[in-house]
Amino acid sequence: MKCVNLAVLLVFLQNAIAVNAANTMLQNVPFANVTGSLNDNGVCQCSVYLPDTVFPVQKVEMLEITAQVLSEKLERELTKVSQYTKAIETYEQKIQNLTIKVEHMESTSVSYTELDFQLLKLEINEMERLVTQLKSTLVGSNVIVEQLYVEIKNLTLMVNDLESLDKNNILLIRREIVALQNRLKECEKHRNQTTTPSYFPPGSCGHGGIVNISQPYVVQLNWRGFSFKYGSWGRDYSLRTPQKDLYWVAPLNTDGRHLEYYRLHNSYDDLLLLKNARELKIPYGGEGSGTTVYNNFMYYNIYNSRDMGKLDLNTNTLAVRKALPNAAYGNRFSYAGVGWQDMDFAVDESGLWVIYSTEDSTGNIMISKLNETTLDVLHTWNTRQYKPSISNAFIICGVLYATRPVNTRKEEIFYIYNTNTEQEGKISIIMDKMLETIQSINYNPSDQVLYVYNDGYLVKHNLIFQPVLH
């Protein structure tokens, strides 16, 4: 409105200059009575005398220059007004966005942090600075800018109040929760240190499954050296001679596939001292790290076949060779990170098992109970767990436990399948490991220990079982 009035005033001023010039010229002419005369032709002649400075030329020029300057200033002011109008529209949009953010923060209780407040305050401070600058450039008062400035000030107060409320409530509650969690961890740590785990006799299944696992105990590097990263080891679970110890170590060749040699130790001390060992070569050769020993017989996958082998450890002769029906082989469905373990033999309190996959199961785990004398399949269970997605497995009391890597130093027992109830489920028991890859896990019911072959090292884990939940 101011700019329009200024334009009208300028036009009126220009018209007034012209009228004033004409009036001045007429008023300043000194008219006088002059006597005329007739010439020879009868025409009247007379003379008029005008002074030299009747018309104010210099004043008119100055007025014209002033009008030009005012016109240019008007154009500049019109341009500024256009720019300010666009800037105000932008600020209004920013205020709407900030208002939405603040309303969202007001409506949610714990979804924001101190950083959210700091970012909001930075945006509001920047807008306040721009609007203050805009006010200083405008001459006089502008209602829109004043209203914008007031809204920004109100928004600043609102955010400060909200932040103050949050500090007094939400953040305080969060700190209390963290403190309580720390106290709970200390209590659990103290309880674990002072409470004796429930005891279950070896070979007993009167418990409710694994509840915890000990730290790894490294026995030694396998006798063939660090390059033999793949293999398996364990303790014979013998019902015939339970008082007799027999430890076996079966590293694969450096190709990570071929099982050619194994060693037997008649005591744990002999194993530690690497003495009195019997080193033997497997007839026909084995494949993969899925080997186990039960009742003085070694069970393994015969090389490059779907055949199961039963090796008499007393004579080192192949007692039984039988194909596992429809089993995939040739590294078709091995464990993740461990090649050639298409068959994984396991022993629990009830006897001998084999863990494998078929083409019909599309790689999902299949569990078969075997007759340890004839290697006939007694019963088979199909699971919905994809075998190549787990790192290893073992069986306790008819329950399959599957593991997967968490990182280079931790493994997680995450999946179970109970063959007694045909139910599967998820658990989470963290298992520390010495090196990155676990090649095999063998459970022994006589001492309730996991025998783990970890990148060439022989490692033991004690298991803790929970009472049956009623």
Query: Based on the structure, what is the number of domains in the chain?
Result: 1
Q: How far apart are CA 95 and CA 384, in angstroms?
A: 54
Task: Judge whether 338 and 439 are in contact, CB under 8 Å.
Answer: yes
Q: Which residues of the chain have pLDDT under 70?
A: 1-36, 46-60, 63-64, 67, 71, 101-120, 123, 127-128, 130-181, 183-196, 242-243, 469-470
CATH number at residue 221: 2.115.10
The whole-angstrom separation of Cα 8 and Cα 14 is 10
Q: What pLDDT sits at residue 9?
A: 47
Counting runs of H as helices and runs of E as strands, what totals does the chain give?
Answer: 6, 22
What is the pLDDT, as a whole number, of residue 160?
64
3-state secondary structure of 81: helix
Question: Is residue 123 classed as helix, strand or coil in its secondary structure?
Answer: helix
Residue 13 lies in a domain: no
One-letter amino acid identity for 180?
Answer: L
pTM surpassing 0.75? no
Torsion of CA 440, 277, 268, 369, to 10 degrees: 40
Other residues' Cβ atoms within 10 Å of the Cβ of residue 101 = 16
User: What does DSSP say about strands 217-221 and 231-235: parallel, antiparallel, or unpaired?
Assistant: unpaired
Report the SS3 class of residue 298.
Answer: strand
Q: Answer yes or no: is 311 within a domain.
A: yes
Q: Specify if 48 maps to a domain.
A: no
Three-class SS state of 79: helix
Alpha-carbon distance 266 to 222, whole Å? 16
Backbone torsion region of residue 219, taken as left when φ is above 0, otherwise alpha when ψ lies between -120 and 50, otherwise beta: alpha
Question: Does some domain include residue 71?
Answer: no
Residues 6+ apart with CB under 8 A from 17: 60, 63, 64, 67
Report how far residue 259's alpha carbon sits from residue 253's, in angstroms, rounded to the nearest whole number.
Answer: 6
What is the token pair recorded at 48?
């008029």
Q: What is the extent of the structural domain holding 233?
A: 208-467
Give domain status of residue 408, yes or no: yes
Q: Is residue 431 a part of any domain in this protein?
A: yes
> What pLDDT score does 37 carry?
72
pLDDT score at 18: 52
Q: Quick one: pLDDT at residue 31?
A: 47
Selection from 412, 176, 394 nearest residue 289 by Cα? 394
pLDDT at 156: 65
Q: Quick count: other Cβ atoms within 10 Å of Cβ 112? A: 18
The residue to which tokens 């494998």 are assigned: 356
Q: What is the pLDDT of residue 192?
A: 57
